[in-house]
A and B are shown apart, each in its own frame.
Chain A
Amino acid sequence: MYELGFSSERSKWLDKLFRVSFSYIILICILAGIGVTTLYSAANGSWKPWASAHLIRFGMALLVMMMFYFLNVRYYYKYAYWFYAVSLLLLIGVEVSGHIGMGAQRWINLGLFKIQPSELMKIGMVLFLARYFSSMTMHGIRSMRGLIIPAICTVLPVALIAVEPDLGTALMVLSTAAVILFAVGVQWWKFALVVLGTGCCLPIIWGMLHEYQQNRVLTFFNPERDPLGAGYHIIQSKIAFGSGGVFGKGFLHGTQTHLNFLPEKHTDFIFTMFSEEMGLLGSLSLVIINMLLIALGYIFAYRTRNYFAKLVIIGLNTNYFLYVFINIAMVMGILPVVGVPLPLISYGGTVMFSIMISFGIIMCMSNTQSVSHTFDEDA
């Protein structure tokens, strides 16, 4: 590169740009493209109101992703706690003065746009735990004392998100944290203990749930309980899947969706709509593309030599996996309808940006091969 006459600073940037994983970006673009076409169909073959907005958002999010990619890895390490702290403060902020949306306080209005602190927390939690464990010895990780801070710092935001109430996100944050704790080597029996303890607390948690949340869980276990009410969504969604068959009803020809039997077809139930029109071939392809994306994430985690980077990638990759799995499982009736969208495909700005940011961070972390094992040494 030097031979080509670029200045050292410029060549460093270009170098980083060329080292980007193009297959990763292509997979992301394919998913977003599926999202745009499905949203076009959801509006009965119209770019408005969703498809064009989704496309524009994706373009912007792509830039944001690259921005996060180009950030120096050290900054993530350096500001990990800060990021977490700001997320936590914002989360408390929505509790104090939240914007009411969907009967739940989830948004903070910044005038120009609204942000969802719980989305920030998904990243913040990963950065926090990765930072925390990377500065710890194996002995510390496996000791009881070393788990006190991560436990508190996990339960606090999870509780805050749960009371918003946004059960789906709370469980996702909790699961992500659990996966990181497990990956770094926290003993099996500690998990067993927590699960057992939670099981005992379940009746109390049940009592704290909102009625609509209780209904969702009950309906999940028996959709026919209320075929015209809460169970209606699941039943209609299953009909849409099944009637799509192997080859689907064809683009723009999904009867369940276009005749409005399917609710929320442009957000949470978009996978149903896609599967109805594209059949098993389509739905399977979509699942496989997501699997490839996640597999690439694990490959990145394996390749990078830095412990912090590995943990961040594992955490964020897990977060993405949970999005995909929970959304698809809930629309197929494997899990209760908890209101988790399908990233890149469902319409909605916050998730689009937060997931693209996390992709940017993953890509950035995967680029640490030139960087030494730890940042502390450099500092």
Chain B
Amino acid sequence: MSNYEDEKITMLVRRVPVVILLNLIAFAAIIARLYFLQVCESDKYKVMAEENRISTRFLVPPRGLIYDRNGEIIAKNDQNFQALMIAEQTPDIEKTLNRFKEIVELSAEQEQRIRKDIKNKKRFIPIKLRDGLNWQEVSKILLHAPDLPGIEINEGLSRFYPYGDLYAHVLGYVGPVAEKDKKDNPMALVPGFKIGKSGLEKYFDYKLQGKGGTVKLEVNAYGRVMKEIERDAGEEGNSLNLTVDTRLQQAAYEAFGEESGAAVVLNVRTGEILAMVSKPSFNPNLFTNGISYKNWNELLYNERTPLVNKAVSGQYSPGSTFKIVVALAALESGAIDYNTRYFCNGAMKVGDTKFHCWRHAGHGSLNVVEALKYSCDIFFYETALKIGIDKIHDMAQKLGMGYPLGVGLDNEKGGLIPSKKWKQARYDAQWTQGDTANAGIGQGYVLATPLNLVTMLARVVNGGYEVVPTFIKPTAKELKKIKRLDISTRNIELVKEGMFEVVNGVGGTAGRARFNFNGMMMGGKTGTTQVRRISMRERMRGIIRDENLPWKLRNHAWFMGFAPTDNPRYAVAVIAEHGSSGSGVAAPIAGKILQKALELDIK
């Protein structure tokens, strides 16, 4: 018996150490693994634990406000309630979205965008469901919060333009960052972050944006925020003070009535832009939270092109307004003087082509002042032919035409002032006498934006100072640096006299726009430019009256004016697109604007 026991115990003594060894190996494996996890790989896991724990959210800084010259707010930030969804925290997106739709209105278009966002964006990034919620909607969402997991209300700021359409083209608008630009800007992933998409909002975007802040939050496994760890509030965007005067802007806007076109008002001594309108306009507030397709298409396909800022992007033949440039070029070159007279009998031959004066019957004999007053075409054909295109080109360029002036608005065009070299390069063709004659009355190749024209006028009437149009008030130092152009005061006075006569002289082309405000009067120059070509046959049968033509084919109407006539302070250029007549349509608009500027006595 005992022997058997001994045999069995001997076996145990042999076998149990093997079992103990296995235990030791197992514990060694555990210790090795502990060392590997807690020492070797510790740094990696520490990072992962922090990533788990800390959720960094960006804070959108308030965008800088924009003021007009009187401190009136023309772009501000309004409180905006958004509903956001974090897909990660929403177990059943479909169900939650349907429930949300029952509570708050959601258009098909918006729903489509949301679904696209859910598909494309990372699951932890909040997706905007709705913007601009009112109090009632917010409280409804909060009430149903248990049914809407992962949906939260975010109180943000949204851009608001209190004057709506009035400043649409100047200020532009803001909108969400385009998909393709998102990778450059970490803030772009934050819902509610907007950038300037056009206008000065775009040009001064960097300044207005401010510096984005961040907040580091400790979150638990379900994404619930446990506490705030660190906050960098960022910096509010800088505010912007513009030179525009809302009262004048309003007057200019209203002066157009139903007409399409643009107007720019300058302080002729400083170049400050006091008003800039383009008609028709649009409501930039529509863009802030994403414009609907319907509204967008309406704007895009409107034949009156509301989205285009005609004041800087509209290029038109300057027509007779260009005669100021031609007159000055001729006077400066010495080719004509006050006493030089040409005879107008209604038409003249240049080469093989017959050139007509707008007045069939002709103007008889006139000097430069009278020619400007009556806007005689023959006088300027003769003058242009005498001095040649290049002298006209040089003078126009000196006066700020033919190149963009750089006021900071997108799509600013420069117009076009042709020269022999330009035609050679552009068309590979010789410059002709006919081209010169056409250019002499601001037709043919010549193009200008309203901004070009008003700059030209300002530089003339301020006595030849090279002011540059700007939305930002120039400093005293900058003002001192304004150079005087090499143009004689005597010649400038002659041209100004011509422009005085246009409005105030008997039989001047803009007599209807005449006003006398406390002894201050307006001078200026009309322009009516053809949009279509008048054929020889039509000329024989009698030219169709403009008001009988479809809108698109009617003449453009120009007027550029300044006031007061002695010691001018304000200049304006007005284009009424297809307005038929510079004297009948554009000049009265300009008159109203200038009179308002005088009334307001904008310093």
Interface residues of A, Cβ cutoff 8 Å to B: 133-134, 137-138, 141, 179, 182-185, 236, 238-246, 255-256, 259-261, 275, 279-280, 283-284, 287, 291, 294, 298, 301-302, 307, 310-311, 314, 318, 321, 325, 328-329, 332-334, 373-374, 377
Contact = CB atoms under 8 A, between A and B. Distances in A.
A73 to B, nearest CB: 16
Contacts of B23: 294, 321, 325
B2 A373 contact: yes
A96 B23 CA distance: 37
27 contacts: A138-B8, A138-B11, A182-B15, A182-B19, A185-B11, A238-B37, A240-B45, A241-B45, A242-B41, A243-B42, A243-B46, A243-B48, A245-B38, A256-B52, A280-B38, A284-B31, A287-B31, A307-B5, A307-B9, A307-B12, A310-B9, A318-B19, A321-B26, A329-B29, A329-B30, A334-B29, A373-B2
B536 interface: no
Contacts of A328: 30
Interface string B34-54: 110111011011101110110
B219 interface: yes
B19 A242 contact: no
B365 interface: no
Contacts of B9: 307, 310
A185 B15 CA distance: 7
Contacts, number: 141
B226 A259 contact: yes
B49 A279 contact: no
A238 B5 contact: no
B38 A244 contact: yes
A243 B39 CA distance: 9
A301 B27 CA distance: 20
B222 interface: yes
B18 interface: yes
Contacts of A302: 16
B361 interface: no
Interface in B260-291: none
Interface of B: 1-2, 4-5, 7-9, 11-12, 14-16, 18-20, 23, 26-27, 29-31, 33-35, 37-39, 41-42, 44-46, 48-50, 52-53, 218-222, 226
Given A141-B8, A241-B37, A325-B26, A246 B52 contact: no
A362 to B, nearest CB: 15
Contacts of B19: 179, 182-183, 314, 318
Given A141-B11, A256-B53, 12 more contacts: A179-B19, A183-B11, A185-B15, A241-B37, A243-B49, A246-B39, A255-B52, A259-B226, A275-B34, A329-B33, A333-B33, A373-B2
Contact of B4 (A137, A243, A275, A298): A137
Contacts of B48: 239, 242-243
Interface centre among A242, A311, A321, A334 (most CB of B within 10 A): A242
A249 B41 CA distance: 16
Contacts of A246: 38-39, 42
**Binding site of B, secondary structure by majority: helix, strand, loop or mixed?**
helix
Closest 8 CB pairs of A and B: A242-B45, A243-B49, A185-B11, A259-B220, A260-B221, A280-B38, A241-B37, A245-B42
B27 A325 contact: yes
Contacts of A298: 16, 20
Contacts of B18: 182
A332 B34 contact: yes
A103 B49 CA distance: 32
Contacts of B39: 245-246, 280
A298 B24 CA distance: 12
Contacts of B220: 259-261
B40 to A, nearest CB: 9
Contacts of A283: 34, 38
Contacts of A183: 11-12, 15-16, 19
Contacts of A259: 52-53, 218-221, 226
Given A183-B16, A183-B19, A184-B11, A245 B5 contact: no
Contacts of A185: 8, 11-12, 14-15
Contacts of A332: 30, 33-34, 37
A294 B27 CA distance: 11
A267 B413 CA distance: 74
Given A182-B15, A184-B12, A318-B19, A325 B30 contact: yes
Contact of A239 (B1, B7, B45): B45
Contact of B8 (A184, A244, A275): A184
A183 B446 CA distance: 109
B45 A275 contact: no
Contacts of A261: 52-53, 220-221
B51 to A, nearest CB: 9
Contact of B49 (A141, A256, A291): A256
A238 B40 CA distance: 12
B45 A138 contact: no
Nearest to B38: A280
A317 B11 CA distance: 18
Nearest to B23: A321
A231 B42 CA distance: 20
B227 to A, nearest CB: 11
Contacts of B30: 287, 325, 328-329, 332, 334
A124 B30 CA distance: 29
A242 B16 CA distance: 35
A284 B12 CA distance: 31
A328 B23 CA distance: 13
Nearest to A295: B20
Contact of A255 (B1, B12, B38, B53): B53
A302 B9 CA distance: 10
Contacts of A184: 8, 11-12, 15
B100 to A, nearest CB: 24
B52 A307 contact: no
Contacts of B45: 238-243
Contacts of A243: 42, 45-46, 48-50
B331 to A, nearest CB: 83
B265 to A, nearest CB: 62
Nearest to A291: B27
A183 B8 CA distance: 10
B58 to A, nearest CB: 22
B29 to A, nearest CB: 7
B4 A138 contact: yes
Nearest to A334: B33
A328 to B, nearest CB: 5
Contacts of B27: 287, 291, 325
B62 to A, nearest CB: 32
B461 to A, nearest CB: 73
Contacts of A245: 38-39, 42, 46
B25 to A, nearest CB: 10
A279 B38 CA distance: 7
A33 B34 CA distance: 22
Given A138-B11, A245-B42, A259-B218, A374 B29 contact: no
